[in-house]
Amino acid sequence: MEKPLASLTPEQRVARLGEIVESALAEARRLGATAADAVASTSTGLEVTVRLGEVETIEHTRDRGLGVTVYFGQRKGSASTSDLGPSAVAETVAAACSIARHTAEDPCAGLADAARMAREVPELELYHPWPIDAEAAVAIALRAENAARGADARIVNSEGATVSRHEGEHVYGNSHGFLGGYPSSRHGVSCSVIARDDAGMQRDYWWTAARDARRLEDAELVGTRAAERAVRRLSARKVSTRTVPVAFTPEVAGGLIRHLVGAVSGGNLYRKSSFLVDGAGRQVFPDWVRIHEQPHLPGALGSAPFDNEGVATAARDLVRDGVLQGYVLGSYSARKLGLETTGNAGGVHNLTVEPGPDGKDLEAILAEMGSGLLVTEMMGMGVNLTTGDYSRGASGFWVEGGAVAYPVEEITIAGSLPEMYRGVRQLGTDVDTRGNIRCGSVLIDQMTVAGD
């Protein structure tokens, strides 16, 4: 009798998941599918939240799943299950085959090209287990919240501090003969508190995330930063409508790059719903800007040896010398566009915005800006990727004489993404590495700030 998956080592779980994927592919062949792929995964997690010094939630998670896609010529069907037993796997494959037999042919459907499969799976240091139990996680969360509540007398309430630990395994295989998998982890600490003065209350937060818990910021630092951020927003004002330079802190600047990724992603391109249709080779940013993927950075949160179709990931420039070099494509969107996959089925991998040649951090960027708006939080979804129109609620700080003067709120910033990208004046050295887009502060020459 086979041992339960939970009792195996991560390497053994990867091997077992590989066997399950291979059995699904074999069953698809037996049922007449001309091609198939399958992905199997398991994960475990612990998340605890404390609030006002008391434990609020303790959540343990344990998930597993199998997804199967089959092709009969260019007819496609997919099905999934959370039961990894042999009979459930066979039933899932049969369900996918039944669906495929009743779908229309799609000339672009199919697996990624066999020649593009990853031939090796490099060791990227993605798995770092964190052996903490609920009691230890609660202690860390309390340290964060206590530091926040004790940082300033104006901190009057807490939305809580959370500690999370997540580990899992992922295996992908297809009928080209590709089979690859690896374990990975992601851990984090966050804290959110409320400050009050005579003018009212303000909330803010801070967080840290890493694959290796030893690379997390100290819990006390997370709490202290959350408190400092909340306090500095007190007595926020409105500003009159004007056109001014606008700077974005790293944690919100990444959103500007996510809009770029959306605009150059295959689905939006072949649907003609992007302002960058036929944009490859076009000057999009100033000529010193470089934005590139680094999928093999050891231990980084966006690293991966292959994409969701088994295609090998590789370092590449998305923007070089300010010029858009290509798109973000999986095999389906690539075929729709008459191009080749870029190894981005599932998204980008450590998309990195290189700092500007002047090597300035946020303080130096504000000094260069002189007067303008520093955005620290964004609200709303007022971005139209088809036209590039941009209008979102924001809060942050008014800058005078190159330094923060006072907090501002209830404003809207507006412009167009093409003009905003061309108007980038500085990219900071303070790169935020807590996600898949790695970007520092951004200074844009001019945007409309709408207030009173």
- Domain limits of the chain? 5-231, 242-450
What is the rounded average pLDDT for all residues in the chain? 97
Q: What is the pLDDT of residue 198?
A: 94
Percent pLDDT > 70 in the chain is 100
Q: What is the pLDDT of residue 120?
A: 87
pLDDT one-digit tens code per residue, 352-406: 999 999 999 999 999 999 999 999 999 988 899 999 999 999 999 999 999 999 9
pTM for the predicted model, two decimal places: 0.95
Give the up-direction half-sphere exposure of residue 259: CA atoms within 13 A in the CB hemisphere: 22
CATH class of 5-231: alpha beta
> What span, in angstroms and rounded, lies between the C-alpha atoms of 408 and 411?
8
Query: At residue 178, does pLDDT exceed 90?
Result: yes
pLDDT one-digit tens code per residue, 391-442: 999 999 999 999 999 999 999 999 999 999 999 999 999 999 999 999 999 9
Q: What is the pLDDT of residue 308?
A: 97
Q: What is the pLDDT of residue 1?
A: 55
pLDDT one-digit tens code per residue, 241-268: 999 999 999 999 999 999 999 999 999 9
